[in-house]
Every structure is written in C-alpha cells, then in structure tokens.
C-alpha cells in the first residue's frame, strides 16, 4: 500500500514496506503545511528532526525522538504548519496487519543488560522504546521478538557479535533516519551490538504486539 495518504500536502518516501508495516519519511520545510491529516490505519509518528508545529492557532514544540500514536478510528486532524526556521523530519509507521487480535503476552519489552531504555509508548498494538548507546558501549546479550523494527534518531557505526559469529563492523554506516526490520534472535544466541563510532547512537525500537 505504497499509495497510503497520511498528509494531504506531503508526499512520503517509502523506507520499508512489508506485510506488517509501511514506513514513510516526511520532510516539512519551514512555512510548509502538512495539509489535512488522515489516519487510514493505526500509525506511529516519530520525529527525527523536531521543530515547532502550529495548528488551529496553537504552537507545539516536538523534539527529536518524540512519538505520537494515531489510531485508525480517530477523526482527521487539521493541517499543521512548520512555524520554525528549519525543516522537520518525521517517520510514520503505518500498521498493515489485522486489528482486534489479542496481544501476544510473550512479546514484550526489549532488554539491553548494559543500557537502560526509555519507555515511550505501550498499547495493544505496539511497544515503543528508546535507547542511547554511547561510543564504546555494548548492549549486552539479548533477544529480539518477531515483528520488530528500529528507527535511528541519530545514526552511527555499529558492530555486532554473537556466540556463533566473532565481532564484525556493520558494512554500512547507519545514517540518521535509517529504518530497518530486525530478525528474531533467541537470547541463547548471545547476540549484541556495540557503538564503535565517536558519537552517541540514538535508537527507537517498535515491537508489534500482534
């Protein structure tokens, strides 16, 4: 469903498209308007580059890493205007799977043994967490549930290792705004990643609960 309309006045760039999610990037220039906002599916909006948005005469600061849940059964929203001096970048995760299925109780929070996470949002469809990984830090061995994606609020250079594979640098630098679908790992695999760059990495994880 790459023709999904979220903002009437903005055209999104598709970053990820599978049978569970459609992930699009939207860039709103200074003075630009989103147009009317619709919610064709349950959606999670993540701010990669924040700024001030004005709607119906009210201005709100949205900082990098903030998230907003947009339920499919909610009404359409009025246009938002970027009233700041720099572009605002948003990533919208549209959930494409069926609604009404009970959440899987075994699919819960991601746990990095070495790094505390920030809980951003939980409902019957998603669990959203944020982690900041400083240079030289490793997460500690952990597992990943199925149907999980990541969004880089601030990118960097990763390395990974596990019981079956020695430490290796990621072949590609993860740019700010990079999105990816994470394969499932059992904690017995000993999987972990580390920041081998010179700047902190800021990462949002979205766990689908259905």
pLDDT at residue 100 in the model: 64
- Quick count: other Cβ atoms within 10 Å of Cβ 69? 17
Instruction: State the CB neighbour count (10 A cutoff) for residue 67.
Output: 19
What domains are defined for the chain? 13-95 (2.60.120.10), 118-208 (2.60.120.10)
pLDDT at 101: 66
Phi-psi region of 69 (alpha: psi -120 to 50; beta: other; left: phi over 0): beta
In this prediction, residue 173 carries a pLDDT of: 97
pTM for the full model?
0.93
pLDDT score, position 3:
58
Below-50 pLDDT ranges, the chain: 1
The angle formed by the CA atoms of residues 80, 86 and 59, to the nearest 5 degrees, is 35
Neighbouring CB atoms inside 10 A of 6's CB total 22
Instruction: Tell me 176's DSSP state.
Output: T
């Amino acid at each position: 469903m790459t023709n999904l309309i979220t903002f009437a006045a903005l055209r999104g760039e598709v970053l990820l498209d599978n049978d569970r999610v459609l992930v699009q990037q939207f860039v709103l220039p200074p003075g630009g308007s989103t147009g009317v906002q619709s919610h064709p599916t349950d959606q999670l909006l993540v701010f990669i580059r924040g700024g001030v948005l004005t709607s119906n005469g009210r201005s709100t600061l949205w900082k990098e890493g903030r998230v907003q849940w947009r339920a499919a059964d909610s009404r359409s929203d009025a246009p938002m205007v970027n009233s700041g001096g720099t572009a605002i970048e948003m990533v919208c995760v549209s959930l494409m799977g069926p609604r009404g299925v009970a959440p899987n109780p075994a699919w819960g929070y991601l746990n990095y043994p070495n790094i505390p996470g920030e809980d951003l949002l939980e409902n019957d469809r998603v669990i959203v967490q944020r982690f900041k990984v400083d240079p030289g830090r490793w997460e500690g061995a952990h597992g990943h549930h199925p149907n999980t994606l990541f969004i880089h609020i601030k990118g960097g250079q990763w390395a990974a290792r596990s019981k079956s594979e020695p430490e290796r640098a990621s072949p590609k630098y993860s740019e700010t705004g990079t999105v990816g679908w994470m394969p499932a790992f059992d904690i017995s695999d000993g999987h972990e990643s580390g920041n081998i760059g010179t700047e902190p990495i800021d990462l949002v994880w979205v766990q689908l609960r259905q």
